[in-house]
Amino acid sequence: MGVEIHNDDAIHGAATPLILGLQPSALVDHVARVDCSLLSRIPGEAGGSFPVGAEELKFVLSEVNKHFVASPENGSSLKTIAGGSVANTIRGLAAGFGITCGIIGACGDDDEGSLFIDNMSFYNIDLSRLRLKIGPTAQCVCLVDDLGNRTMRPCLSSAVKVQADDLTTSDLRGSTWLVMRYGIFNIEVIQAAIKIAKQEGVSVSLDLASFEMVRKFRLPLLQLLESGGIDLCFANEDEAAELLSEEKADAESALEFLGKHCRWAVVTLGAKGCIAKHGKEIVRIPAIGESKAVDATGAGDLFASGFLYGLVKGRTLEECCKIGSCSGGSVIRSLGGEVTRENWQWMYKQMQTKGLPIPDHKNLAYDKS
């Protein structure tokens, strides 16, 4: 979707990114703390993430000002930042762990597109695979209640996006991991990316997106998992419960299923930590840090950042989970899916306390200013 613009000003990294994220549509998050009454007035279930149309997006944004709950850190009704699950994970890897990363996708020629590019560029993320196209950039409203739970409503229908036939082997060549998020509207580009990744020897990570997406489009997801193309899968507890057809499917059953089809499988359990499987090994790790979240937006995304950092550094399954718990815990301490400088420092202290390897600070993108 969208007319592609030849972009001689694309940002090229000095080296091939170790980890790439496929986010077909660049996306901007509008994050707001709201009272619970708003959640009953918008499409879909509270706590999930499911696409809405342009008119529904406008309605939700118009309602935010009526239901906005002020906080000391954010006096305005909306906090607008570059977003999307994959972008959050990639930004976390670059900013807090010093991993060379890049984004594959498409960005619109509008203010939201400029914001996305500026934010990703600040963290030294390679944008040479981000196509600039004529049209709007995707947007998402992230509504946070007083318990820190988030309800997300992305608007993707009219946004520019990278298509399956846009992808080439040069997009992935030389990288180690490709990070993706499940989405039925992106299934063709996901399948194309997996095919190229396997040709290029790139491992594939998949996040299950939301319980609503899993529930409504479970069959295509199962087919994707059973294809053998996914090396690492992340699910939260709600997504895990929707994954299997059994009425009382639990996290352990979902983990066992995912472990049959993926080399690594992880189910995050919120305040209860996580469980993970690699081969015959299964570990259970408690949550790290405060149990009460200011905002759960990005918790799973940043968990993935830490887990992937552990994998590329050759750490054990248990250590990968612990690092993921530290990074996931860092983002829930403030509003939005972007970790602050203070919260990265909090994460390093947690890692040090747990005897985990601390990233080399000279490589950290967040600390360059």
Task: Please report, for the chain, the start and end positions of each structural domain, with discontinuous segments joined by +.
Answer: 16-351
| Predicted pLDDT of residue 14 | 53
Q: How far is it, in rounded angstroms, from Cα 17 to Cα 89? A: 14
Residue 193 pLDDT greater than 80, yes or no: yes
Confidence of residue 298 (pLDDT cuts 50, 70, 90): confident
* Beta carbons within 8 Å of 292's beta carbon, 6+ residues apart: 148
Q: How many helices (H) and strands (E) does the chain have?
A: 12, 14
* Percent share of the chain, pLDDT over 70: 89
Confidence of residue 42 (pLDDT cuts 50, 70, 90): confident
Q: How far is it, in rounded angstroms, from Cα 120 to Cα 87? A: 8
Q: How far is it, in rounded angstroms, from Cα 43 to Cα 52? A: 8
| Predicted pLDDT of residue 363 | 65
- Walk across the sheet containing 138-144 and list its strands: 79-83, 27-33, 138-144, 150-155
Q: Pick 33 or 316 by higher pLDDT.
A: 316
* Percent share of the chain, pLDDT over 90: 64
Q: How far is it, in rounded angstroms, from Cα 126 to Cα 236? A: 29
Residue 48 pLDDT greater than 60, yes or no: yes
| Predicted pLDDT of residue 328 | 92
Confidence of residue 34 (pLDDT cuts 50, 70, 90): confident
Phi, psi of 335 (to 5 degrees): -75, 130
Structure tokens that stand for 20 in this block: 């790439």
| Predicted pLDDT of residue 248 | 59
Give the model confidence (pLDDT) of 198-236 as tens digits: 999 999 999 999 998 999 999 999 999 999 999 999 999
Q: Considering only CA atoms, which of 265, 346, 282 is closest in space to residue 318?
A: 282
| Predicted pLDDT of residue 367 | 60
Residue 194 pLDDT greater than 60, yes or no: yes
Contacts 24+ apart (CB under 8 A), 6-15: 7/131, 7/132, 10/127, 10/128, 10/130, 10/132, 11/117, 11/121, 11/126, 11/127, 11/128, 12/126, 12/128, 13/100, 13/102, 13/124, 13/126, 13/128, 15/100
Q: How far is it, in rounded angstroms, from Cα 189 to Cα 203? A: 16
Residue 43 pLDDT greater than 80, yes or no: no
Sign (positive/negative) of CA torsion 290, 295, 297, 302?
negative
Q: Which of 91-105, 124-138, 242-256 has the lowest mean pLDDT?
A: 242-256
- Quickly list DSSP for 217-272: THHHHHHHHHTT--SEEEEEHHHHHHHSSSTT--HHHHHHHHHHHSSEEEEE-GGG
Average pLDDT of the segment spanning 123-146: 93
Chain-centre distance of CA 175, in angstroms?
Answer: 19
Average pLDDT of the segment spanning 260-287: 96
Q: Considering only CA atoms, which of 351, 349, 287 is closest in space to residue 319?
A: 351
Give the model confidence (pLDDT) of 136-192 as tens digits: 999 999 888 887 788 888 898 889 999 999 999 999 999 999 999 999 989 999 999
* Beta carbons within 8 Å of 353's beta carbon, 6+ residues apart: none
| Predicted pLDDT of residue 6 | 41
Cβ burial, residue 47 (10 Å; 0-12/13-18/19+):
middle
Task: Write down the CATH number for the domain with range 16-351.
Answer: 3.40.1190.20
Q: How far is it, in rounded angstroms, from Cα 101 to Cα 197? A: 16
Q: Considering only CA atoms, which of 301, 167, 169, 294 is closest in space to residue 234?
A: 301
In angstroms, what is the C-alpha Rg of the chain? Answer: 19
Distances (CA, A) of 230 to 178, 224, 263, 293, 369: 10, 8, 8, 30, 37
* Beta carbons within 8 Å of 111's beta carbon, 6+ residues apart: none
* Residue 71: DSSP 8-state: B
Give the model confidence (pLDDT) of 78-123 as tens digits: 889 999 999 999 999 999 999 999 999 999 999 999 999 999 999 9
| Predicted pLDDT of residue 157 | 82
| Predicted pLDDT of residue 8 | 37
Strand, coil or helix: 132 = strand
Residue 10 pLDDT greater than 60, yes or no: no
Which residue type occupies 204?
V
Q: How far is it, in rounded angstroms, from Cα 9 to Cα 22? A: 20
Q: Considering the chain, what is the average pLDDT of its residues?
A: 88
Average pLDDT of the segment spanning 318-344: 89
